[in-house]
Amino acid sequence: MSKKEEPKPPSIFQMAKTFAGELTKYIKEGAPNVSNKVYIERLEACNTCPHLIKSSMRCGLCGCLLEHKAKWKTTTCPDKPERWKPVFMDKAALELKKNFDEQEEEEKRKQEILDKKRAIKAAKLVNEKRGFGNLKAKDLTSNNLKVTYKKINDAENPEDNNSKTSK
């Protein structure tokens, strides 16, 4: 092959099949990306490869776009021998990550429940002290706080409201 000739990419069908397999692994592992250092090392390895289609920056063996494929931890170079390998976490690390994520989600749910209980308690206190029989916990959400504070302020200072409306 002369210097000016570039390798031809595989068929569209083969590229789609390869991409689907790589994408499945990538998503299954949680879409992990490599560090910038590893990404640059992978691109440099690809840049010296005789299978590189430089005009489109595609791998001539699998047809993948290198700027994307080189970012994914789960991908590997299709050349033999491989120019770079996938960067997987071992099963124990994956299990720890899964447990950590589940624990984090559970703590988030518990915090949401606590926040709702606090809002209900605050609504009850405000109702008792300021006579708001219709104030509910939902009135104390961040979206409704301005309106709620205005209601409380208006109730505490009824003379201010009368003077504003009379002007």
pLDDT (tens digit per residue) in 53-110: 999 999 999 999 998 899 998 898 998 888 888 776 566 666 776 777 788 889 999 9
Instruction: Give the dihedral sign, CA 65/69/70/75.
Output: negative
Q: For all residues of the chain together, what is the average pLDDT? A: 79
For 103-124, letters b (16+ CB in 10 Å) and e give: eeeeeeeeeeeeeeeebeeebe
Q: What are the residue ranges spanned by the domains of the chain?
A: 1-88, 91-166
Q: Is 154 helix (H, G, I), strand (E, B) or coil?
A: helix
Both structure tokens of 41: 């090392």
Both structure tokens of 118: 């606090």
List the single range of 33-37, 42-46, 138-142, 162-166 with lowest mean pLDDT. 162-166
| pTM, full prediction | 0.49
Q: Give the Cα separation of 147 and 114 in Å (integer).
A: 23
Q: What is the pLDDT of residue 3?
A: 54
